[in-house]
Structure 1
Amino acid sequence: MQIQDLPFQDPGVPDARSGPRFLWWLGRNQLGGQFKALAWGLLHFTSVAGLPFCVGVAIEAVVARSGTRLALSGALLALCGFTIALGDTFLHRTAVTNWITAAARVQQLLARRTAQLGSALTRRVAAGEVVAVSTGDVEKIGWFVEAVSRFTAAALTVVLVCVALVVYQPALGIVVAIGVPVLALAVLPLLPRATRRADEQREKAGRATELASDTVAGLRVLRGIGGEDLFLDRYRRASQEVRHAAVRSARMWALISGIQVLLPGLLMIAVVWYGVGLARDGRITVGELVTVYSAVMLLGYPLRHFEEIAMAYSFSRPSAQRAARVLSLERATAAEGSREAAVPSGDLYDPATGLLAPAGRLTAVVCGDPDAAGRLAERLGGHAPEESTSVLLAGVPLDELPLDSARTAVLVQDKDPVLLSGTLRELLDVPASGEVSAEEALAAAQCGDVLEALAQGSLDADDPLDARITERGRSLSGGQRQRLALARSLFTDPEVLVLDEPTSAVDSHTEARIADGIRSLRAGRTTVVLTSSPLLLDLAERVVLVHDGEVVAVGVHRELVRREPRYRAVVTRDTDEETDEATDGVTDEAMVAGALWKDGAAPREGAVPQDRRTTPGDVLDELEEIEETA
């Protein structure tokens, strides 16, 4: 696998049962690259280890005054230098390729899982954790996968050198063969503590990242309520905890590094002391002593990879554990080929709540709890909890449809939709039926002022569709972002469109026009709007009240306001006593008008404020003026 071949056509199905299993799966999927790195690593390390033997041969040649042997040793030194450079160069290239390949595979897996889960991902895993996994954790996972082959080459080189020394000079070789394993294993008792401290550091860093992400996402709201200093202090404390944990972890790794320097030094002293005694007794030659001494000195180079692999595993294991946790999240679907790819058309029914959205009609759903409304929208989009029954479309469970078919059939727009950076034309470059034009969708969502604002803010865009939108649409107001997202959903024109509070950030005049635009543009299409706005509810063909997780009333808006106290309490924001007093002896039309008035749909400039009591008769007069104007 070469870097230019990325991305993968298919990154594969990961083993996400645990962090170590995920790392093992990544390694097995890169066996070709691992063997290449192993081969180049062996060439490099054995060439480095061969230098002492060349030096020993040269010394022996000088002592024996043999020009031939001296020339041979010189040629061997030159060959070792060439192979060291060659092996190091290609080892680095192969190692970096393995690192990038592993990281790219993990990123593709995460991107695929994110696309499969959609908005359900951030409801099951904190957004900050997803950011941490897709950035820093990916690099650490790639580091370990890449380091395995270099460590294997270093370990094999150490074994070969020890065997060669025992054969070359048994008296000193045995000392080295006993001492080197002690050096390699001496730090093992310290690794569990180092690993725990590394885990603690990564955990605290992950929490700090989550806090930073959540703070940035809600910065506008925090500034509005004056809470930015409070969250800044919280982030400071979290950052300091990360710093302290990093210092504690660094101290442990510094101790391990110190031991890795101290013990080879002690082994070298022991070899020199024992070797000098053997040389004085004539049991070994000077050349043999120099060879063994140089070999012990150069063994420190491959031995450092023992420390690196321990550090890489300590840091990558929690990262792999977090990645495996995200990758193990499943959308409860049957096999992709279990049903035909054709998109079903018919009624949308949720067995859990009893909600029925008839095909081709505009259904409004009222929930007293906004969080419950969000969960219901998620269910209608096919993201039902594993233990619950799936939503049915034309009698077909959504979780039994292939993912592409399910998403073509049902589109859910969250109450907080995301706008990616780019031009407005790119924003609308989404899979669509082709039945609705971009101009029709923008007009229905009342985006005229948004187009003007984008055109004025972009000097080089002749067409408003070519005007650029900043990241997450931060240059636009909340209402403008919401309308652009609505236009994108309308342009897609799915079989079933689910809108969660699509007008919560716009004024009442714009909301009334948007409600009419949705009804006109989605005529003959199944549309479900989760809202408590009387303007939207009054235009719906069917209104459903969901209370405590089940449907308790079905009808039209005016009928439900009159006969259902729980519905009236949610829509008018009144208590039962207040509603009874205000509606005693009043007609149904006046009651509905009062509900609209209480919700803040101020019909004209200079109208009475919402908190001022007004008779339903006065409100009816205002509504008649609105209808005549329309």
Structure 2
Amino acid sequence: MRLGASTALLMVHQICEALVPVLIGLCIDRAIGPSDAGAMLWCLGGLTAVFLLLTYSWRHGYRLTNKVYGFGDHALRQLTVGKVLDARATGSLFGAGKTLNIATSDTAMTAGLSWLVSQTSANLAALATAGTSLLLISWRLGLLVLVATLVFLLLMHFITAPLERRTHLQQERAAEATGLATDLVTGLRVLQGLGATRTATERYRAISRASLRAALGTAKSEALFSSVTLGLSAVFLAAITWVAASMTIAGELSIGQLVTVVGLAQFIKDPMGALAYFPAGLAQKRAAATRIATLLTTEVGAEPAVSAAPEAGTGGTGFSEMLIRGDGLHPDILLRPGAVIGLRADAATARGLTALLAGRTPDVGQRLHINEHPVADAGLAALRSMVFVADHGAAIFTGSIRDNLHATRPSAAVLAATGLDEICARLPLGLDARVGEAGRALSGGQRQRLLLARALHQRQPVIVLAEPTTALDSVSEARIAQALGSFRKSALLVVSDSPLLLGACDTVFDAAPPHTAGANR
């Protein structure tokens, strides 16, 4: 609806632009030639009204089209990011670099279809207005413009064909180069450790050169397109002017009509050039949309219907217990509201359990049960509505401390328990202090306090903390252990090998080799 309104306004703007030389010609013939002051006033009033209308329509048409573009870009980006954040398959299939390119440049390019639609419609309206005006002045001039426009567009179609192919190739090569660069920067330390920096550099150099060649090919095609468009427009304008001048000398046209014809011929060369570029612009957006569609239609595994799902709620609503069945490394673990349970486990066991609880690995053996219902039957969304897993290496988002807590009014008790209140007290902006990109403005201990505070602010009835204090000193760890021992808002599962943390738990289980029983304290 908004796109339709913006298109209509831009069409009105172009129609008014085409009417300007028509009104000037009428002023010459009916006011300036006869020296009629009254007609001059009417002409000036008409020109003023046309300029007011074209200014209004341009301003609001541009604003509405820009809104459509902005909302479309945002919606596409949300779709792609939502697909990428699915923990089951998408990220591993596309990689960070290519995904970044799709979620930024491709979404912006595809959303630009709104501009292409509105501006193409406006250009067609301008040509229709100019052609009709010329037909009313002289059918020969109108027919000449119609034939010349068709020939012009036909020639441009053949010229833009190689431009379309090279534009598509350039986008593909640029996406590959951007994706590889992002992946290399992300894994730079790993590459240095493996001694593969030289190989990675050579690979990027090859892809970058291919991208450069594709860009140069596109630039050459665009230069040829612009040259031919300019040349044909000049020939077209000269032909119209020559025919109109000949008709004026023969007495078939007045001076005002001659001015109108020359003005319209000068005006319509821009809409004609824009229409000639339409296939190339559409090809760019189609190529970008194809890459987005490929990402969005990637199968990540069907979610089973929620039949016997646990009641999804927050803050413990509908939650009575969660059972984690043992897998030979630990016994069955039962979590109830307000309980603080500890699991002493090595790194491998901790990673496997947290991945299962976060839904990153499938619950093949139906080890997880909430309210006596298998979580595998309820689906990933139901699991995440009930369980929050605070990974040891969770991401910190660019923004403020408050933004990362995801709480408009952070809990004073949580801030005090994690020591985050002391950190904020030393910062000029307090909770609104910026943490830098990926939290780089924070130390390791500050980052861990922030992640722990964010976890304790979650509303799920079960919160899993995996090694939450590894970067803290013993005094801070003891303080946090005491606070966790009195945290009864949710069921807590603390996966750690820290004696201080485990000592604050109600019950502690030991991860052990198969056939070894768990120890309760």
Q: Deviations over 1:454-496 (max 9, x none)?
A: 766x3x37x7x67653332213444653454245324537433
Instruction: Report how many residues are paired.
Output: 502
Compared CA separation, residues 39 and 112, structure 1 to 2 (3 A) = closer
1:90 pairs with one of 41, 57, 66: 57
TM-aligned CA deviation for residue 417 of structure 1: 1.0
For the pair 1:196 / 2:153, whether they are aligned, the reply is: no
User: CA distance change for structure 1 residues 250 and 438 in 2, over 3 Å: closer, same or farther?
Assistant: same
1:395 matched residue in structure 2: 373
CA distance in 2, matches of 1:267, 1:202: 34
Structure 2 residue identity aligned to 1:188: H
What is the alpha-carbon distance in structure 2 between the residues aligned to residue 253 and residue 98 of structure 1?
26
Partner of 1:550: none
Question: What pairs up with 1:360-439 in 2 under 5 angstroms?
Answer: 360=335, 361-363=341-343, 373=351, 377-382=354-359, 392-393=369-370, 394-397=372-375, 400=378, 403=381, 406-421=383-398, 424=401, 427-430=404-407, 437-439=414-416
Following superposition, the deviation at residue 145 of structure 1 comes to 0.8
**Cα distance in 1, alignment partners of residues 147 and 49 from structure 2:** 31
1:359 pairs, out of 315, 334, 345, with 334
**Paired amino acid for 1:470:** G
Is the alpha carbon distance of 1:265 and 1:331 closer, same or farther for their aligned partners in structure 2, counting shifts above 3 Å? same
Name the structure 2 match of 1:174.
Answer: 143
Q: Deviations over 1:31-57 (max 9, x none)?
A: 2x3333233223322222223333444
One-letter amino acid of the counterpart of residue 299, structure 1? I
Q: 2:229 aligns with which of 255, 260, 263?
A: 260
Residue 73 (structure 2) pairs with residue 106 (structure 1): yes
Residue matched to 1:592: none
Of residues 158, 161, 165 in structure 1, which corresponds to 2:130? 161
Aligned to 1:346: 321
* Shift in Å, 1:169: 0.9
**Matched-pair contact (CA < 8 Å) for 1:438–1:491:** no
2:438 to 472, 475, 489: 472
User: Does 2:274 correspond to 1:305?
Assistant: yes
8 Å CA contact 2:13, 2:54 repeated in 1? yes
Where 2:511 maps in the other structure, the secondary structure is strand
Write the distance in 2 (CA, Å) between the matches of 1:50 and 1:204.
45
Write out per-residue CA displacement over residues 65-116 of structure 1, whole angstroms, 9 at most, x where no aligned residue.
Answer: 5344x86477446524542453244324322332234323432553477468
Partner AA of 1:196 in structure 2: R
Gap change, CA 1:109 and 1:143, over 3 Å in 2: closer
Q: Retained in 2: the 8 A contact 1:165–1:292?
A: yes
Moved more, 77-86 or 509-518: 509-518
Corresponding residue for residue 338 of structure 2: none
Q: CA deviation at 1:320?
A: 3.2
Q: What's the CA shift string for 1:119-162, capped at 9, x where partnerless?
A: 62644543334443444444433432133122112212312332
Whole-angstrom distance in 2 between the partners of 1:518 and 1:328? 46
Q: Relative to 1, partners in 2 of residues 1:429 and 1:66: Cα closer, same or farther, differing over 3 Å?
A: closer
Structure 1 residue 247 and structure 2 residue 216: aligned?
A: yes
User: Are 1:110 and 1:134, in contact at CA under 8 Å, matched by a contact in 2?
Assistant: yes
Confirm or deny: 8 A CA contact 2:463 2:493 kept in the other structure: yes
Task: Identify if the C-alpha distance between structure 1 residues 452 and 499 changes in structure 2 by more than 3 Å, giving closer, same or farther.
Answer: closer
Q: Give the SS at the match of 1:475.
A: coil
| SS of equivalent to 2:493 | strand
C-alpha displacement of 1:541: 0.9
AA in 2 matched with 1:380: L
Q: Does 1:525 align with 2:495?
A: no
2:509 to 534, 541, 546: 541
Question: What's the RMSD between the two structures over aligned residues?
Answer: 5.1
The separation in 2 between residues aligned to 1:391 and 1:148, in whole angstroms, is 52
CA, structure 1 residues 267+227, in 2 after alignment: closer, same or farther (shift >3 Å)? same
1:38 & 1:493 partners in 2: Cα distance? Answer: 46
- Residues 473, 481 of structure 1: 8 Å contact kept: yes
Contact map agreement 1:38 1:152 (CA 8 A) in 2: yes
Task: Give the partner amino acid of 2:390.
Answer: Q
Kindly indicate whether the alpha-carbon contact (under 8 Å) linking 1:428 and 1:438 is maintained by their aligned counterparts in 2: no
**Amino acid aligned to 1:543:** A
Alpha-carbon separation, structure 2, partners of 1:163 and 1:511: 82
Does the CA-based 8 Å contact 1:272-1:293 persist in structure 2? yes
Q: Distance between the aligned counterparts of 2:255 and 2:363, measured in 1?
A: 75
Please say if residues 95 and 183 of structure 2, whose CA atoms lie closer than 8 Å, have aligned partners that are also in contact: no
Query: Which amino acid counterpart does residue 289 of structure 2 have in structure 1?
Result: A
Alpha-carbon displacement from aligned partner over 1:1-31 (angstroms, at most 9, x marks no partner)? xxxxxxxxxxxxxxxxxxxxxxxxxxxxxx2
Whichever residue aligns with residue 54 of structure 2, its letter is: G
Structure 1: which 5+ runs fail to align? 1-30, 443-447, 546-552, 559-630
Q: Give 2:46's aligned amino acid.
A: L
User: Judging changes above 3 Å, is the alpha-carbon distance between structure 1 residues 123 and 154 closer, same or farther for their aligned structure 2 residues?
Assistant: same
Q: Deviations over 1:549-568 (max 9, x none)?
A: xxxx364579xxxxxxxxxx
- Picking from 287, 305, 317, the partner of 2:286 is 317
Q: CA deviation at 1:224?
A: 8.4
Task: Tell me whether 1:488 sits opposite 2:446 in the alignment.
Answer: no
Please give the secondary structure, in 2, of the residue aligned with 1:492: coil
Amino acid at match of 1:93: H
* TM-score, normalised via structure 1 length: 0.63
Change (3 A) 1:40 1:335: farther
Q: 1:264 to 1:429 in 2, by over 3 A?
A: closer
Q: CA 1:136 to 1:409, structure 2 compared with 1: closer, same or farther past 3 Å?
A: same
Match of 1:608 in 2: none
CA distance in 2, matches of 1:386, 1:188: 56
CA contact (8 A) 2:389 2:465 kept: yes
**Which position in structure 2 is the counterpart of 1:79?**
46
Unaligned runs of 5+ residues in structure 2 are 336-340
Partner AA of 1:395 in structure 2? H
Provide closer, same or farther for how the CA distance between residues 341 and 140 of structure 1 changes in structure 2, counting only shifts above 3 A: same
Secondary structure, aligned partner of 2:389: strand
Distance 1:101 1:38, change over 3 A: closer
Cα distance in 1 between the residues matched to 2:110 and 2:84: 23
Q: Contact 1:367–1:532 (CA<8 Å) still a contact in 2? A: no
CA contact (8 A) 1:199 1:314 kept: yes
> What is the SS of the residue equivalent to 1:359?
strand
Partner of 1:549: none
Cα displacement (A) at 1:173? 1.8
CA distance change for structure 1 residues 501 and 129 in 2, over 3 Å: closer, same or farther?
farther
Q: Tell me if structure 2 keeps the 8 A contact 1:36–1:94.
A: yes
Amino acid at match of 2:447: R
The code of the aligned residue for 1:413 comes to: A
TM-aligned CA deviation for residue 409 of structure 1: 0.9
Shift of 1:263: 1.7
> Could you say which residue in structure 1 is the equivalent of 2:109?
140
